[in-house]
Structure 1
Amino acid sequence: MDKNTNLPEEENSALNINADENVSGTEHLTDPLEESDTDALETELRESRDKYMRLAAEFDNFRKRTAKERIELFQTAGKEVITDLLEVLDDADRAQAELEKSGDNAALKEGINLVFSKLRSKLQARGLKAMEAIGKEFDPDLFEAITEIPAPTKDLKGKVVDEITKGYYLNDKIIRHAKVVVGK
């Protein structure tokens, strides 16, 4: 009898043979279902990682885009107020030009000029910048052509000859296009 079991030797030897077959069989025997399952799991894992990386990148782009939009919103928050004040600024420019022509009262001119310069400086502090147009190459993205006239010189062909209404930027964004006369 074997010392490990109480079975007779014949039965024990049969069990040992079966045990040996099972042990040796598992070393060389591979289950085809396990390999395909492993491949499928690895493929699924790669796809999941790819989806995760794309989702993370998409979220990062969304975060950056909303931050940029928020900054732009703060920069142009007073756009309507400043746009309404542009008409006042145009009137101020016209009044200043008329004051320069008349030679009546120097103190009056100085006072009105101070008011106009203060208005301009306050608007500039808020990000308003006048557009330079005269003598520039005509660009339909910046200027609105009111009319074309024969160019006084060959240099002014296709360029802005006169400015009817000034154009303005608010924090480097156009809020009003300049109305200009173009030389042809």
Structure 2
Amino acid sequence: MAADHGEPGILKLNTEIERLEKELAEQTNLAEERLEQLKYLQAEFDNFRKWSEKEKGSVITHANENLIKDLLVILDDFEQSLPSLEDEKNQKGVRMVYQKMVKILADYGLEPIECIGKKSDPHFHEVVCRKQCTDEPGTIVEEIGKGYCLKSKVIRPSKVMVAETISEEKGEKNGEREDNRD
């Protein structure tokens, strides 16, 4: 009797095993797909987080840049007023306030553009006039207006005077006219 029920029972078990193996394969594939989707979403979220932090930093930097540009006007006023103060006591006080302001702005990344004796660079300098002298042409001989960089970005170029070659020729090029009257 056990033999009669054995073969159909084995077939039934084999069929059930095949069905379960097929279902297991489908569920494994589904789990792998979900894992890939999860990895993709996690990477997408990380990219969004990085972009969001960068954007936040950009907004802060832009706000700081605008504020610092506005404060540069006051810094210029300090620089201009210091030499004109006659009372040494007042000059020391104003100089202390000026130095504190310079330090605070430097802590935010503000740096003056050094220019005297350097070659003129349109990224950092705005040439406002030229001076005929013996220095190499294009060399900055005088700073007319101080320029500044904020974290390596020029927020105000230096206004400068550059050297121009002295020409030995007479004529309109040097502002002189040749007089051909005899």
- Asked if 1:165 is matched to 2:145, the reply is yes
Which structure has the bigger radius of gyration?
1
How far apart, CA to CA, are the structure 2 residues paired with 1:95 and 1:123? 15
Percent identity of equivalent pairs: 23
How far apart, CA to CA, are the structure 2 residues paired with 1:41 and 1:140? 65
How far apart, CA to CA, are the structure 1 residues paired with 2:12 and 2:121? 81
How far apart, CA to CA, are the structure 2 residues paired with 1:91 and 1:117? 14
Partner in structure 1 of residue 48 of structure 2: 62
1:89 Cα shift?
1.4
One-letter code aligned to 1:43: N
Structure 1 residues not aligned, in runs of 5+:
1-12, 100-104
- Asked if 1:88 is matched to 2:59, the reply is no
- CA RMSD of the aligned region, Å? 4.1
TM-score (norm 1): 0.57
Would the aligned equivalents of 2:82 and 2:94 in 1 still touch at CA under 8 Å?
no
| Structure 1 residues 63 and 160, CA gap change in structure 2 (3 angstroms) | farther
| Structure 1 residues 57 and 183, CA gap change in structure 2 (3 angstroms) | farther
The one-character-per-residue Cα deviations of 1:124-179 (angstroms, maximum 9, x if unpaired) are 225263323214565555x243358589545x75x655433323345x26472223
TM-score (norm 2): 0.57
1:115 Cα shift?
0.8
How far apart, CA to CA, are the structure 2 residues paired with 1:113 and 1:77? 32
- Asked if 1:45 is matched to 2:35, the reply is no
* Counterparts of residues 4-153 of structure 1 (less than 5 Å): 13=1, 17=4, 19-26=5-12, 37-67=23-53, 69-70=55-56, 79-97=65-83, 99=84, 108-126=87-105, 127=108, 129-134=110-115, 135-136=117-118, 141=123, 143-147=124-128, 149=130, 153=135
